Amino acid sequence: MRTRLLSTVLALGAAALSLLPSRTSEAEPQFVANFGTAAPEGTPWATQLQDIKKRVEAESGGKVQLKLFLGSVMGGEVEMVRDVRRNGRLQGGGFSTAAIAEGANLPLLQLPELPYLFRNNDEADHILDNVLYQPVSAELATKGFVMMAWAENGWRSFGTKNTPVRTPGDLQKFKMRSQETDVHIKMYQALGTQAVTLPISEVLTALQTGIVDGFDNTPLFTQAAGLYEPIQYYSLSKHIYQPAAVVWSKAFYDSMPPDLQKIVIGDPAAESAKGRIGVRALETELLANFPGLGVQVVELTDAERQAFANVTLAVHMQFANEVTGAKALLAKVNAELKTKRGG
């Protein structure tokens, strides 16, 4: 079933993403970049990275060669982010913003993942593109990264064993896997829930062995990584919108001449839009897949989601007070959201 699922995801992702033409060059590469990600083979994320590889190698006439390492084969996300920062085993990668925040020691980058910050995709896209892209790029540069483009994991919801989650009280019955970053940990603390921090590569085993009873992630990653196998319920809390970002090692980027630098960066706005389209095109199909995989989808009401939002608002205040630069940037984001919502 899992093999068929991944084949379906690959086919749908390929249909949603327009493939760029590639040209074969016999030139020896002058620059070789290892590119890491937790994205599994057969997902829209992997397809997009393969397209980036084709484009960069074609447009550079073979002067730049990319080697993709998918599915966390080079370690957990935080470990890979640190590798890129050092320009060590990896020279680039596609990672969740939470992982970059932790691996780059850049807590301000957790801001987009504050619980219930955004109400919909349109709000998230607007803030990421028009408010956060430039300050995030500047912060990343101070830590040894060059920002290429936003990508997307999507809306995270709760996957659990035995019983569903409809209220914050329900969640307190479980030991939940938390992503290794402060905002996610504090969200679970605010909800009164025991959280166990684990890299994504260890979550399936932890669920199977009872180390944790549940997790939160997107429908796409839940299915592509096989996390659906030990659970019975997927509760659509949609509590965090999680962006991702494609980044390069600044040391690697700075080693190239300007013409090749321009090629590896490409068109950030177009690349961001392409990634979002690829992921979002699958959402309805993926939710429809869950019952056939033995997982019941639990649709929460607006009032039930609001109960979670009310409890986790404290995480916003903690973040603003504890992270350097967060208060001003969060105020700017909230002001822009207020305007977009009509005052």
* 330 three-state secondary structure: helix
Start-end of H helices in 33-129 = 44-59, 77-86, 97-103, 121-127
What is the spatial distance between Cα 287 and Cα 277, in angstroms, rounded to a whole number? 17
Report, as an integer, the average pLDDT of 65-76.
95
Number of domains in the chain: 1
pLDDT of residue 343: 74
Which residue segment(s) compose the domain that 304 sits in? 2-340
Confidence class for position 84, pLDDT limits 50, 70, 90: very high
Look up the pTM and report it.
Answer: 0.89
* 131 three-state secondary structure: helix
pLDDT digits (tens, 9 = 90+) for 29-39: 999 999 999 99
* Nearest of 198, 197, 244, 199 to residue 220 by alpha carbon: 244
Asked if residues 250 and 146 have their Cβ atoms less than 8 Å apart, the reply is yes
pLDDT digits (tens, 9 = 90+) for 263-296: 999 999 999 999 999 999 999 999 999 999 999 9
Give phi and psi for 101, each to the nearest 5.
Answer: -60, -45
Whichever domain contains 122, its CATH number is 3.40.190.170
What is the average pLDDT score of the chain? 92
pLDDT digits (tens, 9 = 90+) for 88-144: 999 999 999 999 999 999 999 999 999 999 999 999 999 999 999 999 999 999 999
DSSP assignment letter at 343: -
Residues 6+ apart with CB under 8 A from 14: 47
What is the spatial distance between Cα 182 and Cα 56, in angstroms, rounded to a whole number? 35
pLDDT of residue 28: 85
